[in-house]
A and B are shown apart, each in its own frame.
Chain A
């Protein structure tokens, strides 16, 4: 109650006028009602249903029969399940680690070098090129790339042939040894624009004086990158890494369109695995267990990220106060 009074202090005028010290907050809560109702129906109830289903054996029709942890025990021993999560780690590499690292270097080069020597128009055009794949529906990106990577008449193989590297030709998406790396390459292409744009925006708030001072002190590009750029946009880096990791764990559309998890499960990922278990094998209970495990991992990551962010914000506010 004391905190309420302290925080409400700024609104004292309004309160005195209304004459009901506790009313204001309660009427504001009414505005939350449609949102809470909608979320309950579309997110909370389905989520609880899915979690409940994961403890049952259910074919999608009839009554689910309670089997306790049987699905999870089966998952633990399922090599297909472990393979799908191993592929997820590759996706994290392709969608979070590599785009963040490359995005940092690109952002710094565009901001600290191109912007200074060639002007902001050049920067804007280059940034737009790198960002373009981000607006493309993943299904369409999949069509574009599955044709480029096609074994017989794909343009990548045609290009290799044209430059005399015919022996490098591959069935990029159809060879189990290459398929995962090909999908990873496509995902780097898709994802790169996101970190780049976020980092460039972050650099806007860095004091240009820092760079000038460093340059006067004789710091080269690399040292400026390491000692100014990186520390200054650390909040952006952690947020981007977190968001991209979560996106990588959820990747579905690209796998559906490019490889359908194949060849021979070489590119299967948890979301695609749960999708086929739900709708092709109609083992709904088992599919629910897969998606529940995925959810737990993602929520754990999100919670860590959330804590990290609020703590950083508190620290920031503490400094300001």
Chain B
């Protein structure tokens, strides 16, 4: 009886999973079709050969290499910068147990939930005045700060449970607070910091509103912004759209395969503590 009832559940869940990944498959399928093939057999026909001109053409037309570089540069800098800022904040809150830490922590949590719509115009205005408008540095600064709100929240609770004996021992050996932080707290908390680095990188890679407003020139745009703007202009034909989608999906799949464990575990850690 139970043996008979096992498989329907598996089949149902597998069909659901298939539905989740199907869009990726359809995109990959159509990105390697020639326009003639596409118009003859529609989006569901199987490609007869590997036609990569569409992808290549799209790559060159939007200078995709440049966009990738911008995304890597911005996301990488933000990940490192935001992790450093989170560590400093969390050291004061979690280990230093500074007075009023509950309020400080509440401030960071609320800052983290603040909608970017409430910051976007002043940031646009201020960055123009500071000469940071339409520069990658401007976006890096803004997201370093925004992402570190979540990092501070997560790391503070992790460091709050840091074994105090280790710190006391180091203090007795003559280490100052700065040395305790970099030689003991950071190495011991490496797993959590690793999760934060991955999160910050992927989140910044996927950010849309602020980069859309702050980066207007082609040379500075990220992958997300460039593709979103192109789609918004409704100028792409089917082959181009699929090439764009494929090139946008590929980095995400690479991150996913590389970071899958970190991402799924880290989210669980972040959600409930």
Contact = CB atoms under 8 A, between A and B. Distances in A.
A111 to B, nearest CB: 12
Given A35-B85, A117-B6, A194-B267, A306 B109 contact: yes
Nearest to A161: B42
Contact of B238 (A147, A159, A202): A147
B158 to A, nearest CB: 15
B123 A46 contact: yes
B121 A53 contact: yes
Contacts of A101: none
Nearest to B107: A39
Interface in B19-54: 20-21, 23-24, 26-27, 30, 38, 42-44
| Contact-size category for B | 35 or more
Contact of B17 (A39, A129, A253, A290): A129
Contacts of A138: 206, 208, 224
B141 A158 contact: no
A129 B241 CA distance: 23
Given A153-B42, A274-B117, A294-B117, A256 B232 contact: yes
A29 B245 CA distance: 47
B202 interface: yes
A250 B116 contact: yes
Nearest to A49: B122
Given A7-B97, A162-B44, A137 B223 contact: yes
A29 B241 contact: no
Top 6 A-B pairs, shortest CB-CB distance? A28-B96, A201-B268, A140-B248, A139-B228, A46-B122, A129-B17
Interface of B: 6, 9-10, 13-14, 16-18, 20-21, 23-24, 26-27, 30, 38, 42-44, 85, 88-89, 91-93, 95-99, 104, 106-111, 113-123, 125-126, 141-142, 144-146, 148-149, 152, 164, 168, 171-172, 177, 181, 202, 205-206, 208-209, 212-213, 223-225, 227-228, 231-232, 238, 241-242, 244-245, 248-249, 252-253, 255-256, 260, 263-265, 267-269, 271-272
